[in-house]
Structure 1
Amino acid sequence: MFVLDEYRNAVIARNSGVVVDSDEFTLNNSYRFSQAQNDAVLALHAMETAAESLGLGCVILGSILNDVPRLIELMKLPEYTYPVLGLAIGKPAQQPNLKPRLPRSVQFFDNAYNSDPELMLQRMSEFNEEVHQYYDLRDAAHPVPTYDAQIAQKAVDQGVLERGLGHARAQGFDIER
C-alpha cells in the first residue's frame, strides 16, 4: 500500500514550534497533497520496476480507493495521510495477454501537444476496438463497455470528486487551499 504522508512532516514541524492548527500551516494544503501523492506514485513505480526486473508480476490496485474510510481504519492512518494506490507483487501463474496500451501517437508529442480532436479520435478508434476485444476474450459472459464509453461515463460521474475530497478533508487536508 502506498500512502501520501505529511503526518511525519507535521510531527517534525510541531516539534520545531510550528502551530499546526494555524492558518500559517501549509502541510495540509492542496499543493502538498498533490506533491505527496506524486511521491507515493513515484515510489510505487520504482518498486514495480524493481519487482519486474526480478521476474515478478505486478498489478497496480486503484480499487483500494473504493472504500477509503475502511482502509484508513484498517491501516490506522493518522491525520495528514491518505492512501494512494496498492501494488500486488507475485510470481505469475500464467502469461496472460497484456492489456492494450494507449497508442504512442496520443501519448507522446514533439515540442507541442497535438490537440486536433479528429486526429485524436481517429488514432483512438483502433485502440478502442483492441481494448473491447481484450475484455471480451477474458470473459465473454460479462461484457465490458468500450473504452470510449467508460471514459464518457467517468466524465460525468458527479460523486467521484466529492467522495475523494471528503475523505481527504477527514484526514485533515484543506484541498481548497
Structure 2
Amino acid sequence: MMTEWKNALEAPLNHRTIREFKTDEVAAEVFEQLMEVARRTATSTGMQACSIIRVKDPEIRQELANVCRQEYVARAPELLIFIVDQHRNSEILREMGENPAKAGDMDKFFQGFTDACLMAQNVNNAVESLGLGAVYLGSILNHPAKTIEVLGLPKYTFPVVGLGIGYPNQNPQQKPRMGMELRLFEDRYQSFPGEYLSRLNDYDQEMTTYYDFREANRRSDSFTLQVVQKLSGGIPERQAMMNQIVAQGFDLKLKP
C-alpha cells in the first residue's frame, strides 16, 4: 500500500513549472487521453460550463505570447486555453424558447470559472504523471480584451488560464513553498497580526536560494519582498477585468 501511495504522489510532490520544451510533438494518442481526462473532470451542477481552445495557428500563438509578455508561449508543442463557456448553454436556452441571458449571471460565471480551473489542474496532473511538463499561463489575462479578440470568444465566455504542454527541455529547481501552518486552519481562519515577517523569516531565507530560470538563473528575492513588489504594482487591464467580464455579457447584479 505504501508503495502505491508513493507512486501516486510522486508527480504532484515533484511539480515544477517547465517553460522550455523539446521540439517533439505530443503524440496524438497521448493528447486524446489528456482530453479524456479533461472531459471526465468534475463540473458544477453537471453544466460542463467550460471549454478548451487548442491553439495551433502560429500567428495566434504569437499574439498570445505578446499578451503574456512571454516569448516561450508561442513555442510550446501544445498550447491550451481554458475558458468559461456559458455560450453553449445560452444557445440551448435560446433554442428551447428561454431567455439566453439566464446563462449570464455571476453565479453561472463562477461555476464556469471553477470548472475551467479544475479541468486545467486535472490535465496538468495527467501531463506530469506521463513524464511530460507544463506551464500555467495566467498571463493570458494581462489584456483580457485582446485575448478575447484573438480567440474569437463570443458572448458568455471568458478566458481563465492557459497551459503549455510538452517534453521538458530543462530541469528547473523546485520552487520553495511556505509551510502549511500559515495556510491550513481548523474550523476558522487564523490571523497573526504583527507576526508574519517573523513567522516567514525561514521561508524568506529559503526563497533567496531559489534560482528562477525566467530571470537568467538569477536568485529569487525573499517572499515578503515579492509580496510588496507584486501587490504594489499591477497591470491596469488586469485590475479592470470586471469591465471586460461585463462586456462579455455577464451581469454583476451589484447593489446600488
Q: Same fold (TM over 0.5)?
A: yes
Counterpart residue identity of residue 48, structure 1: N
Q: Distance in 2 between the 1:176 and 1:161 partners?
A: 21
Contact 2:207/2:221 (<8 A) preserved: no
* 8 Å CA contact 1:128, 1:147 repeated in 2: yes
Structure 1 residues 55-94: aligned runs within 5 Å: 55-94=131-170
Backbone CA RMSD of aligned residues: 2.6
TM-score by length of 2: 0.59
Secondary structure of 1:112 counterpart: coil
Instruction: Return the alpha-carbon distance in structure 1 between the equivalents of residues 177 and 112 of structure 2.
Output: 27
In structure 1, which of residues 131, 134, 139 is the aligned counterpart of residue 210 of structure 2?
Answer: 134
Structure 2: runs of 5 or more not aligned: 1-80
Q: Give the Cα separation in 2 of the matches to 1:55 and 1:142.
A: 27
Task: Select the residue among 187, 192, 198 that pairs with 1:111.
Answer: 187
Task: Say if 1:105 and 1:123, in contact at 8 Å, map to a contact too.
Answer: no
- Structure 2: how far apart are the matches of 1:145 and 1:11? 49
Alignment CA distance shift 1:101-1:176 (3 Å) = farther
Cα deviations across residues 126-173 of structure 1 (Å, max 9, x unaligned)? 223333432578747977654323333554558466521111112111
1:4 aligns with 2:81: no
Aligned to 1:36: 112
Match for 1:164 among 238, 241, 247? Answer: 241
Alpha carbons 2:210, 2:219 under 8 Å: kept: no
Native 8 Å contact 2:86 2:104 kept in 1: yes
Q: Which runs of 5+ in 1 are unaligned?
A: none
Between 1:37-46 and 1:62-71, the stretch displaced more is: 62-71
TM-score between the two structures when normalised by the length of structure 1: 0.82
Q: Give the superposition deviation at 1:99.
A: 1.3
In the alignment of these two chains, the number of paired residues is 173
| Greater Cα shift, 130-139 or 118-127 | 130-139
Q: Deviations over 1:84-110 (max 9, x none)?
A: 000111111122101112321112223
Asked if 2 retains the 8 angstrom alpha-carbon contact of 1:103 and 1:123, the reply is no
The percentage of counterpart residues that share the same residue type is: 37
